[in-house]
């Protein structure tokens, strides 16, 4: 896998490069500005990108906007966005085109190499990787009459893992239950939330996130 990184912090940029190299992932460019990122993507044609939301000069959402622009010029470009804080608005912006191959992680996840590289590979393969903290925040912002309250504790656990982009097999492994049990929970969740059944992958994640963002 060939990756372009956009991160203004020199230490983190170098750290990301070393982490990925240690996992057999080639970093073909590591830059610090949105403009340099767009140039690197155009010239290097990477298999995936890792982009900080906040880049110079304004340190607001330059990285996110550059990622969205890159996807307009290179449809389907896998983008894993990193952020220092939970900002679910950025997650919604990133997922808006419905094309998949997107991820949103807090920078603290980088310290867990397995978790970080798993998210990157999932995004590169066309899937979705959402940070658990973003999902948790969306789950707590609910109305008193929300159907989400009808979910059992286990169904809420399954829903949160679905929103992160986990497959049913991965959810079963995390919760130490059978995949058949997870399939049943998923069916119940979609029925209770009045969501149309959808196949595995980023489309069902988008359906869940669309519900949570309502």
Q: Please, what is the average pLDDT of the chain?
A: 86
d(CA 203, CA 214): 17
d(CA 134, CA 106): 9
Mean pLDDT, range 103-113, rounded to an integer: 90
Say if domain 2-131 classifies as CATH 3.40.50.720.
no
Instruction: With cut-offs at 50, 70 and 90, classify the pLDDT of residue 191.
Output: confident
Instruction: With cut-offs at 50, 70 and 90, classify the pLDDT of residue 73.
Output: very high
Domain residue limits, the chain: 2-131, 142-212
Using alpha carbons, list the distances in angstroms from residue 70 to 78, 101, 163: 10, 13, 25
Q: Please give the residue that has the higher pLDDT: either 42 or 147.
A: 42
pTM of the full structure = 0.76
pLDDT at position 15: 95
Say if domain 142-212 classifies as CATH 1.10.10.10.
yes
């Amino acid at each position: 896998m060939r990756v372009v990184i956009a991160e203004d912090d020199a230490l983190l940029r170098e750290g990301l490069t070393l982490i990925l190299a240690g996992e057999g992932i080639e970093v073909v460019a590591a830059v610090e500005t949105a403009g340099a990122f767009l140039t690197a993507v155009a010239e290097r044609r990477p298999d995936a990108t890792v982009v900080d939301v906040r880049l110079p000069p304004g340190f607001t959402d330059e990285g996110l906007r550059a990622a969205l622009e890159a996807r307009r010029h290179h449809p389907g470009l896998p983008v894993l966005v990193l952020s220092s804080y939970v900002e679910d608005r950025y997650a919604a912006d990133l997922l808006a085109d419905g094309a998949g191959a997107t991820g949103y992680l807090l920078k603290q996840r980088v310290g867990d190499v397995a978790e970080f590289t798993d998210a990157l590979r999932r995004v590169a393969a066309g899937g979705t990787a959402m940070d658990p903290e973003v999902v948790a925040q969306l789950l707590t912002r609910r109305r008193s009459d929300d159907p989400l309250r009808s979910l059992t504790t286990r169904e809420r656990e399954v829903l949160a893992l679905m929103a992160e982009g986990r497959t049913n097999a991965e959810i079963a492994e995390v919760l130490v239950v059978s995949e058949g049990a997870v399939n049943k929970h998923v069916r119940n969740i979609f029925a209770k939330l009045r969501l149309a059944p959808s196949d595995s992958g980023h489309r069902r994640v988008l359906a869940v996130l669309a519900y949570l963002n309502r």
